C-alpha cells in the first residue's frame, strides 16, 4: 500500500528521460532585429549542451524560445518527434533556472520546491518525499522552512535548481545560473550542477558567456554570435579547432597577428607577419597572397630575451604561478599576449615565437 516506496526516486535510476530535442530553423525577431536567424540543432536525451556566446548573441533568446517564454517568428521545436513550439510554457514541463534565481519570495524553500508538484496535482507523502530528495540533492535539507530572503545567493540558486528538477523535467534550462555568484562559489556550483545532471538523466541546456564554464560542463558546446550558430562541437573540438575567428576569440585565442599567406600545403599554411614567417593550421580555405590572421593563445606564444621570433617591446608582465604572462607591442603597433618562463622587465625587448602546431590561420574578414 505504500505508493511512495514504489515510486522511483530521481536519484535511483539514471535513465534518460524524454526524447531528442530538435530545433529546426528557429527564428525570432524583435521588430527589424533578428535575435535568432535560423538555428538548427538536434540534442540527444541526457546531453549537457552549453550555449556560449557574447551578450546579445541570441543564446538567451534561444533558451526562452525553448522554454516557451518567447514565441517563435519561424521554425519548429520538436521533442521526441512531437511539435511543442505552440505549447504554452506551463504545458511543456521543462525546468528552468534563472540568472536572478526567481524564487517565490513569499514562500518557504519547501513551498518553492513543491510548487511545480502542486501544479501537477502531486500532494501528500509523495510530494514530501520528492521535495526532500530534491533538497538533499542540493544539500539544503536543513533550510527547508526558511524564506528565500534568508538564504545566501548560492543557497538561493540551489533552491532554484531543486525547484526545477523536482518535477522530473525532460529538459532543464539554465540561463547563466552562476553569474550572480562569487568566483569560488561559481566553481563549486559548477561541479554540483554537472553532478546533478548526471544523477537525474535529464537533458540540460545551459546558457553562459563564460568559456571555462562551457568547456568544463558541457558534452557539446554551441557557440553563437549575432543570432547564428558558429560552431557545434565537443569541448576538445572547439578548444583545439575553432572554425573561425569568432569562435577562436571565445576559445581564448587572444593574440591575433594580421599578415599575408605565403604558401598553402594540405591543411597547413605559411603566413608572413612583420617580416617573419610562421606555419599554422589553416582553419579556412586560404589562397597565397590573401590577407589572413594568425591566432594563438597567450600560453602558446613564448617570449624570450633573445631571438629568434617577432621583435617586440614588453608593455606589461605579471607572475601567474608557473609562468609569466604579459603583453608586448611590435614596432608596427600589434599587441601580442605572450607567456614567458623568465621575468622579462617592462620596456625591455622580447622575441616571440609561436609553439609549433599551436597557431591557427584564419581568413581576415576585416581586410
Partner 1 sequence: MSAPSLRSRLAAQGIDGTTLLLLPGLIFILALFIYPFAFGVIDSLRPKDGGAWYANYAKFFGDPYQYGTIAATLWLALPVTIVNLALAVPIAFRVRLMHRQRLLTTILVLPITLGTVFVADGLLTFLGPRGWFNHVLMLLGILHEPLKLTNNYWGVFASLLITGFPFAFLLTLSYVSGIDPAIEQAAATLGAGARQRFQRIFLPLLVPGLAVTFCLSFVQAYAVFPSAVLLGAPAGPTRVISIAAYQAAFEQYDHSMGSAIALVMGGVELVVVVLILALRSLFYRGPAGGTKG
Asked if 291 and 257 count as a contact pair (C-beta separation under 8 A), the reply is no
Residue 281 grid cell: 593550421
Q: Which range binds partner 1 by CB under 8 A, 78-86, 116-124, 203-211, 276-284?
A: 116-124
Residue 325 binding partner 1, by CB under 8 A: no
Handedness of CA 28, 29, 30, 33 (dihedral sign): positive
Nearer to partner 1, 157 or 225 (CB): 157
Question: Dihedral of the CA atoms 303, 307, 309, 315 (nearest 10)?
Answer: 40
Least distance to partner 1 from the beta carbon of 157, Å?
Answer: 9
Of 37, 41, 67, 305, the one binding partner 1 by CB under 8 A:
67
181: left (phi over 0), alpha (psi -120 to 50) or beta: beta
Of 49, 137, 173, 314, the one binding partner 1 by CB under 8 A:
173
How far apart, in whole angstroms, are the C-alpha atoms of residue 367 and residue 363?
Answer: 9
Strands 276-282 and 228-233: unpaired
Residue 362 grid cell: 584564419
Q: Which range binds partner 1 by CB under 8 A, 47-55, 64-72, 123-131, 228-236?
A: 64-72
Residue 156 binding partner 1, by CB under 8 A: yes
Residue 94 binding partner 1, by CB under 8 A: yes
Residue 17 binding partner 1, by CB under 8 A: no
Asked if 227 and 245 count as a contact pair (C-beta separation under 8 A), the reply is no
How far apart, in whole angstroms, are the C-alpha atoms of residue 272 and residue 33?
Answer: 39
Residue 177 grid cell: 545560473
Q: Which positions from 118 to 147 touch partner 1 by CB under 8 A, shown as an x/- string?
A: -xx--------------------------x
DSSP 304-345: ESS-SSEEEEEEEEEEETTEEEEEEEETT--EEEEEESS-PP
Nearer to partner 1, 96 or 232 (CB): 96
Residue 89 binding partner 1, by CB under 8 A: yes
Residue 90 binding partner 1, by CB under 8 A: yes
Least distance to partner 1 from the beta carbon of 166, Å?
Answer: 9
Nearer to partner 1, 167 or 303 (CB): 167
Nearer to partner 1, 100 or 316 (CB): 100
Of 96, 137, 243, 336, the one binding partner 1 by CB under 8 A:
96
Handedness of CA 136, 141, 147, 151 (dihedral sign): negative
Least distance to partner 1 from the beta carbon of 51, Å?
Answer: 17
Q: Which residues bind partner 1 (CB under 8 A)?
A: 67-69, 88-90, 92-96, 98-106, 115-116, 119-120, 147-149, 153, 156, 160, 163-164, 167, 173, 180
Amino acid at each position: 500500500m505504500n505508493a511512495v516506496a514504489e515510486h522511483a526516486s530521481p536519484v535511483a535510476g539514471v535513465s534518460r528521460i524524454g526524447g531528442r530535442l530538435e530545433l529546426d530553423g528557429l527564428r525570432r525577431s524583435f521588430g527589424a532585429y533578428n535575435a535568432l536567424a535560423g538555428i538548427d540543432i538536434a540534442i540527444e536525451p541526457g546531453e549537457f549542451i552549453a550555449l556560449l556566446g557574447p551578450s546579445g548573441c541570441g543564446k538567451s533568446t534561444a533558451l526562452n524560445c525553448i522554454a516557451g517564454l518567447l514565441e517563435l517568428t519561424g521554425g519548429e521545436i520538436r521533442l521526441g518527434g512531437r511539435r511543442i513550439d505552440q505549447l504554452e510554457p506551463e504545458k511543456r514541463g521543462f525546468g528552468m533556472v534563472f540568472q536572478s534565481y526567481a524564487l517565490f519570495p513569499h514562500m518557504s524553500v519547501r513551498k518553492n520546491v513543491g510548487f511545480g508538484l502542486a501544479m501537477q496535482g502531486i500532494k501528500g507523502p509523495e510530494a514530501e518525499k520528492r521535495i526532500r530528495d530534491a533538497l538533499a540533492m542540493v544539500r539544503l535539507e536543513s533550510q527547508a522552512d526558511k524564506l528565500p530572503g534568508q538564504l545566501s545567493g548560492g543557497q538561493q540558486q540551489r533552491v532554484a535548481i531543486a525547484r526545477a528538477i523536482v518535477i522530473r523535467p525532460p529538459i532543464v534550462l539554465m540561463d547563466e545560473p552562476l553569474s550572480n555568484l562569487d568566483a569560488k562559489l561559481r566553481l563549486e556550483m559548477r561541479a554540483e550542477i554537472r553532478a546533478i545532471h548526471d544523477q537525474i538523466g535529464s537533458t540540460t541546456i545551459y546558457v553562459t558567456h563564460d568559456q571555462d564554464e562551457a568547456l568544463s560542463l558541457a558534452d557539446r558546446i554551441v557557440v553563437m554570435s549575432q543570432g547564428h550558430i558558429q560552431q557545434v562541437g565537443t569541448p576538445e573540438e572547439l578548444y583545439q579547432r575553432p572554425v573561425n575567428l569568432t569562435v577562436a576569440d571565445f576559445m581564448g585565442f587572444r593574440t591575433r597577428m594580421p599578415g599575408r599567406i605565403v604558401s598553402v600545403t594540405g591543411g597547413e599554411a605559411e603566413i608572413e607577419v612583420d617580416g617573419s614567417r610562421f606555419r599554422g593550421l589553416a582553419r579556412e580555405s586560404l589562397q597565397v597572397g590573401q590577407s589572413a590572421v594568425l591566432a594563438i593563445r597567450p600560453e602558446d606564444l613564448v617570449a624570450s630575451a633573445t631571438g629568434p621570433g617577432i621583435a617586440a617591446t614588453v608593455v606589461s608582465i605579471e607572475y601567474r604561478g608557473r609562468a609569466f604572462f604579459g603583453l608586448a607591442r611590435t614596432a608596427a603597433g600589434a599587441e601580442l599576449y605572450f607567456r614567458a618562463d623568465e621575468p622579462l622587465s617592462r620596456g625591455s625587448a622580447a622575441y616571440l615565437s609561436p609553439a609549433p602546431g599551436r597557431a591557427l590561420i584564419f581568413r581576415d574578414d576585416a581586410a
